[in-house]
Amino acid sequence: MADAGSSSTCANSDLDHSNVDSCFNDFYSEVKQIEKRDSVLTSKQQIDRILRPGSTYFNLNPFEVLQIEPETPVDDIKKKYKRLSILVHPDKNQDDADRAQQAFEVINRAWKILENEKTRKRCLEIVDEAKGMTDLALAEKRKKLKKEGKETVIDEDDPAKYRRAIYVMTIKLFADMEKKRRELEQRDMEERKRKRETEIEA
């Protein structure tokens, strides 16, 4: 588990890519260990998982939030969503209602994204893009080693480390998408403000 200092840094890093890698290094192993215990997670553990340090990044990925594989059928996604929403519902967690409400909203947002065919398709494209970019980066890494006359065995030949590399790239791409969405939203807001000011002056 990461120390308090790194946890605080990750929690406050928002979408600053300069801090992404350290966040993933601190939390990836812990997150995956938690996911292995998915079937026995309590309400508190689910709330802690969803609101863990670094969740600004992780919760951009709806598959991560609902703990499902990207290829999971919509009907199964809905079942998982219902199970999780019941577990973290504020009415079921009145001793921690504020945090439960936050977790409940995160789960709802993930489901809304995945139940919509258009936004689910975009999420699947991001996952595919992450795998493609990871494979390309690893191919370049091997090519560089070969050119230098070195052995072309790399860390990511280990399946677990390969999955982690894809996982990291996936979260980065979701973060990029969210950053662009915010920028467009900001530009749209500024444009509407300019129009209102022009109308007032007229």
Domain range for 166 is: 4-201
Look at the chain and report how many structural domains it folds into: 1
Residues 128-169: tens digit of each pLDDT:
999 999 999 999 999 999 898 988 888 888 888 998 899 889
Per-residue pLDDT of the chain (202 residues; tens, 9 = 90+): 333 344 434 444 445 554 555 555 555 555 555 555 454 589 999 999 999 988 888 899 999 999 999 999 999 999 999 999 999 999 999 999 999 999 999 999 999 999 999 999 999 999 999 999 999 999 999 999 989 898 888 888 888 899 889 988 998 999 888 888 889 989 989 988 888 888 887 6
Per-residue HEC secondary structure of the chain comes to CCCHHHHHHHHCCCCCHHHHHHHHHHHHHHHHHHHHCHHHCCHHHHHHHHCCCCHHHHCCCHHHHHCCCCCCCHHHHHHHHHHHHHHHCHHHCHHHHHHHHHHHHHHHHHHHHHHCHHHHHHHHHHHHHHHHHHHHHHHHHHHHHHHCCCCCCCHHHCHHHHHHHHHHHHHHHHHHHHHHHHHHHHHHHHHHHHHHHHHHHC
- Percent of the chain scored above 90 by pLDDT? 50
pTM score:
0.69
